[in-house]
Amino acid sequence: MEQSKIEKIKNLPEYQQLVKERTGLAWKLSIAMLVVYYGYILLLAFDPAFFTAIISGQYISIGFPVGVAIIIFAFLLTGYYVRKANSDFDELTAKIKKEVE
């Protein structure tokens, strides 16, 4: 790609908005996942008895459904990012392409 096109893209308000929104969302989702994951690890380290407690009437400890919930949470975060990328980010990208051409 020509240097002039690159500079033109970088100076577009739509491009700057895209970068700002995408970066902000990536940080928010990363922090959310880190808080959940490290919260799990810290709880496991400082209160291991919590995860070994048996769910009433079941043969499963609390640790298993909590671990599954963390995996589901990660899938939900991924789904949210994909939905946002396919709607808002793709729309901004299309505007940028249209202005550059």
| pLDDT, tens only, 16-72 | 999 999 999 999 999 999 999 999 999 999 999 999 889 888 888 999 999 999 999
> Which pLDDT score is estimated for 36?
98
One-letter-per-residue 3-state SS of the chain: CCHHHHHHHHHCHHHHHHHHHHHHHHHHHHHHHHHHHHHHHHHHHHCHHHHHCECCCCCCECHHHHHHHHHHHHHHHHHHHHHHHHHHHHHHHHHHHHHHC
Q: pTM of the prediction?
A: 0.82
Report the domain count for the chain. 1
Q: What is the pLDDT of residue 1?
A: 66
- Domain of residue 43 covers 3-100
